[in-house]
Structure 1
């Protein structure tokens, strides 16, 4: 009986019918569970079709029958690796290496897992050991380049990637990896050349097409990027990331209907992305509502290496999500959709979805409706000891008419395109001619006009402070010191001026000393007035110590990419930890309410 079942499964495997092979073995579950060899076969098949959690059960069954079975130990390690449990994968790898210390594959897998655990130096040693046992080990050379790059040794990583290409000139993966490395360090033209080398070897390689499209997008070659992304999509028609990229590029090329079709195809697949917790088991599961058709709270760095699992779901204009697409295990919902200038249709969909899930919602989309610049200026105009410049939303054509009619006298004014952040499409107009020219160039777009407040410090520099509000906490994020009124941290001279960096560090360590009790009270009043769970403020201080408010919204970026400003990292981590605690608290409250309800109905039954 056992040889017959195994023979049937092997025949199906040889024909590429892996799912049928799995079904055949599962139909004889009781018999299979008594044979370690077939358990290993079933585990390997489940790994092959992307079901590592199911594979774990069968490798563990094999080990219960034959504790020293190295095939089962190795398979179990790969299954743990595939499910994101790298700690257990590492322990399996150590057992495999102890049993067969001269097996290059075991050393390679151990290097892979160590890299995932952030133990790059140990990973490098494992990969070097694999290469010493197998001098032409292409996978190990490629992974070695990745490890070296993670250690910040860019020239050495580039040499390792090039060596991998020279060793395996016909291997498309080597060229793709080189392209990825070049792209990461913004050498986009050379990255494109590397991807083209890979495509000359394998004309239908998805990774080369997809990543080449990303490089073309970064160069602003949106049309070429779209053509390339569409070629990637023809290779993998159901690939979520390719569909999303095509949608983003269609938006940039001002084809919103086509973009929406791409995004809806992804939305209909259910959960868009999964972000597993850094350690297992996860403390809770969060569902993130995100829209590619509107501005969002940047979330990738905020949730990286967190204690919770996170799923991402798309909210789209005129699209109703099926709440059944969401896991029953979701404990808390986080709304990321934050832009209301052109996203009211999206916000309506997000509100509908958030209400339908019957879970606690952080930053409920309904609360976002009054966070556009004009609404914020009205809401905060009465805050004591604050300066809130008046902001008016206006269509460009109406502004042109008002300028022609001589109805604009209060200069200077800041004029910007609605929906833009980071200083893009924004100018200080000191007279009617400048304002008229900006309005003409804006065509039919919507603009904001804001009264200008000269917030320069006595030393002539302009200081812009950013705080992040998390629950009832007010946490400093950065201080940008600039030579002109339009200040953004990345464009200042702070990287080369030590006193500026020292001042920022001092602010981060003791913001109360800079803002004083009065300034911190103003910030707390703003927190209470806005009412969001998570948002940010860009502000300054005038000569009287009043808080000058520039911007308040939930769209502000928090990240850990602070080369040269490493003193910022503890404060970013503090924000991340506060965000985690906020979500965990809401998740626990939900679980407690469910448990209480279950107890009530049990007693009532």
Structure 2
């Protein structure tokens, strides 16, 4: 399996798919004869040159004694392996004219049909072979493969289990069943199948790789990394395992090691589009935009239809101020397809997600888990009335467009669509509109014990001239381009000279915000984050740093235990840390925002007031690695997810009861 690290409405980072060459193994001889069915399991490797060479080497040595195989079948199989399929088919059919129930000829015609992309014909031939020889596990295993080609996963699993009933140590059937179970998100059962296969064949690199994918999907990153490393030890030229190891390391925030793995995968397989894409994504995370652009473009050179790579390049262009190019790549990504469906293996509900093609969306991976939520993600800038009329059935709508700066182009269509929608709507765009940076002061500023700094929106072409003239704005002032988050391109200006020297950023507008020194009495800066679910507050994290621009990753939280201890206390009882008056103010903020899901970044001033940094729906909430030093946060994070799931259940049940 190959891991894709990015999706427009992504599953977990370890989402997997792919084909697997089948490794060579020794055959057991039944007297003086090896059945063609036992040999033909390797014909599926015909698509890879390595597989053909490996199979042909074994078959050539076997054919030295030609008495072991009936001549017509031997000749037909030689044609088949050499890719001379018409000649092979003619001989198989001649054999069936003499013996219509000859199982190997029927089976091999089924194998050929599957090679030619005709799974229905393959199923027909292999069922006839099974009827003639029901006790052959190879037939049942190959029948499972044909059903898998048709995405009939339950039927495929049944056929693999039939193979295992006949031969419990059938390693390929165990492996194939594991892949089906992983496709169905039955990860524990898939892991059990892979481990059984590996116990039988300890050097089964493909099973070790797919075991790693399943473990990674469960968040067991250390175990996943060990499995990928084991696969590489068994098969040093295994590009897919290097790529997957890179994804694991990326998820562990070991970016340099991840990048090294992607490079190793590409040294083995230079045209490996997914590794090229993942390498570009890794550099994008590091904000090395030149390298990110280079490798993302190289990925598109191999596969021009990768939506994810177009997305990456659109984001790179946006981050580097090339707005027209960003729009061009968004058009390439979504002009042909604006709706993406991720079908849950164990669906509880189906959610229509309204999504912006640029930045400013609510991170939904953990709010709408892929295992239980079928997600219909609609790129709303590219929506049409025809699409609206043909949407699949859904239970409710979640507006994931959380930034008013990107809502503008989508507003008119979204308003029309939602106006005629009879399903529950979470985070209605009208409520999101009030959370733009320049409107938050009016929305929250009158709440007792809350300070919201004056913020104004300025035309990007005149902001240097207009900023000094504005009433209510004083130096120092924070300046950032519209649509930016996470401190990107945020600067603090101390004087008019610094404003004059500021390098302009290519943006539609700028926000200017009065800066307040929010250091605590101990000299440290503290930034708190609260999530609101159905207007109720849930603590998420506290970062404590020595710089006014506090980021959790760079604030020293990893190295200083007293900071983690204070954060743990905040998570357990936020009111005891920020004070009861501040907690009352936070609760009032949640009610005033009036969103089903959003977040608040804030600090506490020395006089006890809540200093609001920003309040919107775009803030990321995610669990930590269970083996990470920050795992103490996970029970509190889970409370947020549980509250959101309860909200979804309540809204959905409310509609069902009403009808």
Please, what TM-score do these two structures have when normalized by structure 2?
Answer: 0.71
- Match of residue 257 from structure 1: 327
- Match of residue 402 from structure 1: 466
d(CA) in 2 for partners of 1:326 and 1:35? Answer: 47
- Match of residue 297 from structure 1: 362
- Match of residue 84 from structure 1: 185
In structure 2, stretches of 5+ residues that fail to align are 1-95
What is the CA-CA distance between 1:532 and the residue it aligns to?
A: 0.7
Does 2:178 match 1:47? no
Does 2:523 match 1:460? yes
d(CA) in 1 for partners of 2:205 and 2:194? Answer: 16
Q: Describe the superposition over 1:5-63 as per-residue Cα deviations: whole angstroms up to 9, x where unpaired.
A: 99678536415466534167579999999996777654320213444145356668x69
What is the CA-CA distance between 1:373 and the residue it aligns to?
A: 0.4
d(CA) in 2 for partners of 1:227 and 1:379? Answer: 44
1:495 match: secondary structure = coil
d(CA) in 1 for partners of 2:465 and 2:572? Answer: 49
Asked if the contact 1:267–1:313 (Cα under 8 Å) also holds between the matched residues in 2, the reply is no
- Match of residue 558 from structure 1: 621
* Alpha-carbon spacing, 1:353–1:266, altered in 2? closer, same or farther (3 Å): farther
* Alpha-carbon spacing, 1:445–1:319, altered in 2? closer, same or farther (3 Å): same
Does 2:209 match 1:110? no
What is the CA-CA distance between 1:217 and the residue it aligns to?
A: 3.4
1:267 match: secondary structure = coil
RMSD over aligned CA atoms reads: 4.1
Asked if the contact 1:76–1:89 (Cα under 8 Å) also holds between the matched residues in 2, the reply is yes
Q: Equivalences for 1:383-532 in 2 at 5 Å?
A: 383-402=447-466, 410-438=474-502, 440-442=503-505, 445-532=508-595
Asked if the contact 2:103–2:133 (Cα under 8 Å) also holds between the matched residues in 1, the reply is no
* Alpha-carbon spacing, 1:10–1:584, altered in 2? closer, same or farther (3 Å): farther
1:376 to 414, 417, 440: 440
Q: Describe the superposition over 1:441-465 as per-residue Cα deviations: whole angstroms up to 9, x where unpaired.
A: 3466521111223333233322222
Choose between structure 1 and 2 for higher RCO, CA contacts under 8 A separated by at least 6 residues: 2
d(CA) in 2 for partners of 1:3 and 1:564? Answer: 64
- Match of residue 580 from structure 1: 645
What is the CA-CA distance between 1:366 and the residue it aligns to?
A: 3.2
Asked if the contact 1:10–1:21 (Cα under 8 Å) also holds between the matched residues in 2, the reply is no
- Match of residue 214 from structure 1: 281
What is the CA-CA distance between 1:338 and the residue it aligns to?
A: 0.9
Asked if the contact 1:247–1:259 (Cα under 8 Å) also holds between the matched residues in 2, the reply is yes
What is the CA-CA distance between 1:536 and the residue it aligns to?
A: 0.9
- Match of residue 17 from structure 2: none
In structure 1, stretches of 5+ residues that fail to align are 94-108, 112-125, 597-605
Q: Describe the superposition over 1:99-155 as per-residue Cα deviations: whole angstroms up to 9, x where unpaired.
A: xxxxxxxxxx333xxxxxxxxxxxxxx57x52xx4354322454577799876659x
Does 2:271 match 1:204? yes
Q: Describe the superposition over 1:453-491 as per-residue Cα deviations: whole angstroms up to 9, x where unpaired.
A: 333323332222211110142111122223243223222
d(CA) in 2 for partners of 1:526 and 1:20? Answer: 60
Which one has a bigger Cα radius of gyration?
2
1:494 match: secondary structure = coil
d(CA) in 2 for partners of 1:166 and 1:486? Answer: 44
- Match of residue 287 from structure 1: 352
Please, what TM-score do these two structures have when normalized by structure 1?
Answer: 0.77
1:373 match: secondary structure = coil
What is the CA-CA distance between 1:295 and the residue it aligns to?
A: 0.9
1:579 match: secondary structure = helix
What is the CA-CA distance between 1:286 and the residue it aligns to?
A: 2.3
d(CA) in 1 for partners of 2:565 and 2:179? Answer: 47
d(CA) in 2 for partners of 1:145 and 1:25? Answer: 31
* Alpha-carbon spacing, 1:343–1:575, altered in 2? closer, same or farther (3 Å): same
* Alpha-carbon spacing, 1:511–1:87, altered in 2? closer, same or farther (3 Å): same
2:637 match: secondary structure = helix
- Match of residue 205 from structure 2: 138
What is the CA-CA distance between 1:189 and the residue it aligns to?
A: 6.3
Aligned pair count reads: 547
1:229 to 287, 290, 296: 296
- Match of residue 267 from structure 1: 337
Q: Describe the superposition over 1:251-278 as per-residue Cα deviations: whole angstroms up to 9, x where unpaired.
A: 456203321222214634x32544x36x
d(CA) in 1 for partners of 2:473 and 2:637? Answer: 43
Q: Describe the superposition over 1:342-371 as per-residue Cα deviations: whole angstroms up to 9, x where unpaired.
A: 441134444455456542121123322222
* Alpha-carbon spacing, 1:421–1:409, altered in 2? closer, same or farther (3 Å): closer
d(CA) in 1 for partners of 2:301 and 2:154? Answer: 30
d(CA) in 1 for partners of 2:427 and 2:251? Answer: 33
